[in-house]
Chain A
Amino acid sequence: MEPRPGDVVAPAATAAIATDAVVIGAGPVGLFQVFELGLLDIRAHVIDALPHIGGQPVELYPDKPIYDIPGLPFCTGQGLADALLRQSAPFAPQFHLGQTVNQVHAQEDGQWLVGTSTGTQFLSKTVFIAAGVGAFEPRRIKLAGIEAHEGTQLRYHLGAPSAFAGQDVLIQGDSDTAIEAALSLSATGPHRANSVTLVHRRDSFKAEPERVALMRERCAAGAMRFIAGQITGHDTQDGRLRAVHLTRPDGNEQAVPLDTMLVLQGLSPQLGPLTDWGLAMERKQLVVNTETFSTSAPGIFAVGDINTYPGKRKLLVCGFHECTLAAYGAAPIVHPTRPVLLQYTTTSTHLHQVLGVGHGTGDKSRDKS
C-alpha cells in the first residue's frame, strides 16, 4: 500500500500505554471522535487495521464525490479524511496503524485493557469503537491446504521488495496493487526477483490502463510474464510449497514452480474478534443508547456504521452527531470531579486555548456556534 498523508507508524510498546481514550478505527467518524474528545480535555490513541487513515471512504471510494457533509457542498473521501486529520491535530492524537484490536478486557478499577495484533497494549478509561464495517483484511485465496503456507511462502502484503530478491515469485491479482507489485519485483536492481509471474483468471485488468501497459512492456522485454488462468491446485512436498496449478481459459492445466506466492486480491472488511467482546449486538452491529452512544459495557462507546439504535441511518453526518454525544458521555468517566459544561468553540476562552487559536471577541449576541 502506498503511504498516504497522515501515515504514522508507531513502535510496538512493551508496557501498556495509559490513556483516557482509545479510538478503534481511523475513518472519518473515528477522526471526528478524536476532535470532540479533545474539546472535552480527553486525549486519544487511535488504532486502525489499514496502514493509513481515512477508513471506508478512502479505501472504497477515494475519488468519489461526497455531497452531504454540512457546510461542504462537495468533497472527496480522501479530502474529507485529510481535513478531519487537520481538524484533530491540536489534540495530537497518536496513531497505531496496520494493527487490529484483538482483545478488550475489563479491569477491576473500571478501566479497559486493549491489545492489538502487533502487541501494543493500552490501559484506557474509555474505548470508542468506530470500526465501521470492520477491519479491512486481505481477501484470502480459497484453496484447500494452502493456508498452511500463510506467513511463509504465501503472502498477502508486498512489504519490502528486497525479501523477494532472487526468488521465483507468483503474484495473483488484477488490481493496481498487484500490477505495481509485479513491476516492483521485476525492476532492474539488486533486489530483483529471479522470476515474476502475474496470474489473473483472464487477460483483462481492473488496474489503470497506463499501469497495465507498463506491465505488458515489461513482459515483452522478458523481465516478467503474465498467464491467464485460475489457481486450482498446489504441490506441497515436505511442508514446502513447490508449485501451483493453473487452469487456463482453454481448460488446459499448467504447473508454475515458485518460492513465494503473493496474493493481492484486494481488501474485504471483517468484524473479527469484536463479536467476542461480550457487547450486546443486533444484526452484527453494536447496540447503543442514543443519549451517550454507550454500548452495553460502561466505558465502551460505539459510533458510526458499527452501531445500531432505533432510527439508525448509516450516514457520515449521523456518525458525527454520535461522536459529539459519546464524548459528553465519556467526560464524567474520564474527569469524574469536573462538571461537564457545554462550551462553544466561537466564544470559549478555554476551547481557544486547547485549540491553540487566538482569543475570540466573546460577543455572544453575534457569535454563537
Chain B
Amino acid sequence: MTHVVTESCIRCKYTDCVDVCPVDCFREGPNFLTIDPDECIDCAVCIPECPVSAIFAEEDLPKDQVHMTAINAELAQLPNWKSITKRKDPLPDHEQWKDRTGKLSELIR
C-alpha cells in the first residue's frame, strides 16, 4: 500500500504536503508532485495538508483516479524528479487550475 497524488495536483503543486512527510517520500516534477511508493509509510499526515485534497490512500482513491497509482510509481523513478522536503510557492497559475479535473494531459514528465 501507499498514498497517491491524484490529478488535482497537476499545474498547482502547492507543496504543503512535503513539509509534514516524515520519510521524505515526495518527488517533484515540472508541474506535479508524486509519492515514491517504496518510501511512503502510509502515515496519512499529508492528506489534510493538501489545499486541493489531491492525496489519497491507495485503497481510498476515487474510481476515476485509480490510474494514478501506477503513474506515481513511474514518475518517482524518473531521474529528473528530485526529492522535495521543503514547501515552496505553488505554480503561478495555480488559482486557474486548482478546481479543474481531467488534467492528466497537462502533466509534464
- A-side residues, CB < 8 A to B, are 56, 60-61, 133-134, 201, 206, 230, 266, 268-269, 283-284, 314
* A61–B1 touching, CB < 8 Å: no
B59 at interface by CB-CB < 8 Å: yes
* A206–B85 touching, CB < 8 Å: yes
* A60–B59 touching, CB < 8 Å: no
Please indicate the chain A residues that have their CB under 8 angstroms from the CB of B1 in the complex.
283-284
Please indicate the chain A residues that have their CB under 8 angstroms from the CB of B82 in the complex.
201
CB distance from B100 to the nearest CB of A (A): 31
B78 at interface by CB-CB < 8 Å: no
- From A56, A61, A134, A268, residue with most partner B Cβ within 10 Å: A268
Q: Which residue of B lies closest to A206 (CB)?
A: B85
Please indicate the chain B residues that have their CB under 8 angstroms from the CB of A284 in the complex.
1, 42
* B85–A133 touching, CB < 8 Å: no
* B44–A60 touching, CB < 8 Å: no
Please indicate the chain A residues that have their CB under 8 angstroms from the CB of B44 in the complex.
314
Q: Which residue of B lies closest to A56 (CB)?
A: B22
A230-B79, A268-B38, A269-B23 given; name 19 further pairs at CB < 8 Å.
A56-B22, A60-B22, A60-B23, A61-B22, A133-B41, A133-B42, A133-B43, A201-B82, A206-B85, A266-B24, A268-B23, A268-B39, A269-B41, A283-B1, A283-B59, A284-B1, A284-B42, A314-B43, A314-B44
Produce 1/0 per residue, B1-27, CB < 8 A to A: 100000000000000000000111000
Interface pairs A-B: 5 shortest CB-CB: A60-B22, A133-B41, A284-B1, A283-B1, A269-B41
CB distance from A201 to the nearest CB of B (A): 8
Please indicate the chain B residues that have their CB under 8 angstroms from the CB of A134 in the complex.
41
22 CB-based A-B contacts, threshold 8 Å: A56-B22, A60-B22, A60-B23, A61-B22, A133-B41, A133-B42, A133-B43, A134-B41, A201-B82, A206-B85, A230-B79, A268-B23, A268-B38, A269-B23, A269-B41, A283-B1, A283-B42, A283-B59, A284-B1, A284-B42, A314-B43, A314-B44
Please indicate the chain B residues that have their CB under 8 angstroms from the CB of A60 in the complex.
22-23
Please indicate the chain B residues that have their CB under 8 angstroms from the CB of A61 in the complex.
22
- B-side residues, CB < 8 A to A, are 1, 22-24, 38-39, 41-44, 59, 79, 82, 85
CB distance from A64 to the nearest CB of B (A): 9
Q: Which residue of A lies closest to B85 (CB)?
A: A206
- From B1, B41, B82, residue with most partner A Cβ within 10 Å: B41
Please indicate the chain B residues that have their CB under 8 angstroms from the CB of A56 in the complex.
22
Question: How many angstroms from the CA of A284 to the CA of B2 in the assembled complex?
Answer: 10
Question: How many angstroms from the CA of A269 to the CA of B1 in the assembled complex?
Answer: 13
Q: Which residue of A lies closest to B21 (CB)?
A: A60
Question: How many angstroms from the CA of A60 to the CA of B23 in the assembled complex?
Answer: 7
Q: Which residue of B lies closest to A271 (CB)?
A: B41
Question: How many angstroms from the CA of A56 to the CA of B22 in the assembled complex?
Answer: 9
Q: Which residue of A lies closest to B36 (CB)?
A: A268
Please indicate the chain A residues that have their CB under 8 angstroms from the CB of B59 in the complex.
283
Q: Which residue of B lies closest to A134 (CB)?
A: B41
Please indicate the chain A residues that have their CB under 8 angstroms from the CB of B43 in the complex.
133, 314
CB distance from B59 to the nearest CB of A (A): 6
CB distance from A271 to the nearest CB of B (A): 10
- From B23, B38, B42, B82, residue with most partner A Cβ within 10 Å: B23
Question: How many angstroms from the CA of A66 to the CA of B32 in the assembled complex?
Answer: 31
Please indicate the chain A residues that have their CB under 8 angstroms from the CB of B38 in the complex.
268
Q: Which residue of A lies closest to B2 (CB)?
A: A284
Question: How many angstroms from the CA of A265 to the CA of B39 in the assembled complex?
Answer: 12
Question: How many angstroms from the CA of A7 to the CA of B54 in the assembled complex?
Answer: 41
Question: How many angstroms from the CA of A201 to the CA of B84 in the assembled complex?
Answer: 13
CB distance from B93 to the nearest CB of A (A): 28
Q: Which residue of B lies closest to A305 (CB)?
A: B43
CB distance from A132 to the nearest CB of B (A): 9
Question: How many angstroms from the CA of A333 to the CA of B100 in the assembled complex?
Answer: 58
Please indicate the chain A residues that have their CB under 8 angstroms from the CB of B41 in the complex.
133-134, 269
Please indicate the chain B residues that have their CB under 8 angstroms from the CB of A206 in the complex.
85
